[in-house]
Amino acid sequence: DQQVKQNSPSLSVQEGRISILNCDYTNSMFDYFLWYKKYPAEGPTFLISISSIKDKNEDGRFTVFLNKSAKHLSLHIVPSQPGDSAVYFCAASREGASGSRLTFGEGTQLTVNP
Amino acid sequence: DAGVIQSPRHEVTEMGQEVTLRCKPISGHNSLFWYRQTMMRGLELLIYFNNNVPIDDSGMPEDRFSAKMPNASFSTLKIQPSEPRDSAVYFCASGKRNPGEQYFGPGTRLTVT
């Protein structure tokens, strides 16, 4: 059962334009959501997160939107830069008594063309 | 801080051999996670520890896989005997209990021939 899904395996955008990466989840118990970025031959690095009590979180060029009713979140990157080309993973967390674990989506390969 | 340290970075071994992957988490982090990334299954959690205690090992594929965390600064993931289908990149990550951010190591690329 894939509880976190990224339906687009790849996305290509022009430099300077907006990149929108999407993620859907099925488990309504998830209460914290994160985006990670991964370059080849490196581990994923944390990018931005959002708590389920919010619907938007912004950090520089990166904004994450959460629509709880639709169980959907998205990552907006504007303006996109060639250095943003990477695989982006969406992840969800459900805090439990024994600590939190992340459930990851499949990832979306973003390519920003100069 | 040096970040999460994993060794070796690359491992090539023959089927049937024992493989041990090592991880040093970030100091002060009390959660440690082992992941496996493959083309077919993406990034999947194998096992995680809180305060050196295994909490959830439901992702460990079978008895050939075992993980230990003898102290707060060291963990191992062992595969014995290894099989070609174990070929993947294995990541270790550490984090604090809340909120849920995890910091990943560079990974170990395992190839079993």
| B15, two tokens | 């089927």
List the one residue out of A77, A67, A85, A79 whose CA is nearest residue A30: A67
Distance between A93 CA and the closest CA of chain B, angstroms: 7
Q: What is the mean pLDDT of residues B13-40?
A: 94
pLDDT at A99: 58
Which candidate from B33, B42, B50 shows the least CB-CB separation from A106? B42
Q: Give the pLDDT band (50/70/90) at residue B99.
A: low
Task: Please calculate the CA angle B17-B19-B22 and round it to the nearest 5 degrees.
Answer: 170
- A13 three-state secondary structure: strand
Distance between A18 CA and the closest CA of chain B, angstroms: 25
- Between the CA of residue A69 and those of A52, A55, A93, B29, B93, what are the distances in Å? 11, 11, 17, 33, 31
Sheet of A62-67, strands arranged across: A4-5, A19-25, A72-77, A62-67, A56-59
pLDDT at B1: 63
Residue B81: cis peptide before it, omega within 30 degrees of 0? yes
How do beta strands A45-51 and B74-79 pair? unpaired
pLDDT at B97: 64
Q: Which residue of A has its CA nearest to B102?
A: A46
Q: Which residue of B has its CA nearest to A39?
A: B106
pLDDT at A17: 97
Asked whether the predicted pLDDT for residue B60 surpasses 60, the reply is: yes
Q: Give the pLDDT band (50/70/90) at residue B62.
A: confident
Lowest mean pLDDT among A73-82, B52-61, B98-107: B98-107
Distance between B96 CA and the closest CA of chain A, angstroms: 9
Which candidate from A46, A98, A103 shows the least CB-CB separation from B101? A46
Chain A residues touching B26 at Cβ < 8 A? none
pLDDT at A93: 87
Q: Give the pLDDT band (50/70/90) at residue B94.
A: very high
pLDDT at B2: 80
Q: Give the pLDDT band (50/70/90) at residue B32.
A: very high
pLDDT by position in tens, chain A (length 114): 679 999 999 999 999 999 999 999 999 989 899 999 999 989 999 999 999 999 999 999 999 999 999 999 999 999 999 999 999 999 998 876 455 678 899 999 999 999
Please answer whether residues B89 and B104 qualify as being in contact, where contact means their C-beta atoms are separated by less than 8 angstroms: no
Residue B61: cis peptide before it, omega within 30 degrees of 0? no
Phi and psi torsions of A83, nearest 5°? -70, -10
Asked whether the predicted pLDDT for residue B96 surpasses 90, the reply is: no
pLDDT at A98: 54
Q: Do A42 and B55 touch (CB under 8 A)?
A: no
